Amino acid sequence: MTKGHGSDANPGDGDRVDVDLELRHGAIVTIAVGPRDLPRGCETLRRAADALPRLVLGRTADEARGIGLAEVLRALGPAGLENGRCVLALIGALRAALIDAHVAALAEATIDLGKLTVK
């Protein structure tokens, strides 16, 4: 299992969010959005954080990396595009966590007699 952590912020209105996830065989099997209890930020960010597990659990890292603003806003219902910047902080944290997991997987790789093997 490979773990990843990412965070992002929207300094314009103080939104801050962390995403921790675990990948197994390339698919997201767990995800936690924080910090700890809830992201700090507006109602739209909190609603998006609640929706994120439904959007990404079971998806591959590549599929999750492709999630964009429109898909998250659709999952929220009538949120209003003026709050899109708040959702972008969540998407940024998700993508950072996926990159961190990818780097962790590469760090676990070993070279054995000229062959690359992944543990």
Residue 110 is part of a domain; what is its CATH number?
3.90.1010.10
CA distance 82 to 66: 22
Which runs of E-coded beta strand occur in the chain?
2-10, 15-24, 27-34, 109-112, 115-118
Would you place residue 65 in the very low, low, confident or very high pLDDT band (cuts 50, 70, 90)?
very high
pLDDT tens readout for residues 3-54: 999 999 888 778 889 999 999 999 999 999 986 545 567 888 888 899 999 9
Q: Please give the residue range of the domain that contains residue 15.
A: 2-118
Dmax over CA atoms of the chain, in Å, equals 56
pTM: 0.85
Q: What is the DSSP letter of 91?
A: H
The amino acid at 82: E
Q: How far is CA 75 from its chain centroid? A: 15
- Kindly tell me if the per-residue pLDDT of 94 is higher than 90: yes
- Kindly tell me if the per-residue pLDDT of 63 is higher than 90: yes
**Domain tally for the chain?**
1
- Kindly tell me if the per-residue pLDDT of 91 is higher than 80: yes
**Tokens standing for residue 108:** 């676990």
Strand partners, 18: 7, 34
Model pLDDT, residue 116 = 59
The burial class, CB within 10 Å (0-12 / 13-18 / 19+), for 27 is middle
CB-based contacts of 113, cutoff 8 Å, min separation 6:
none
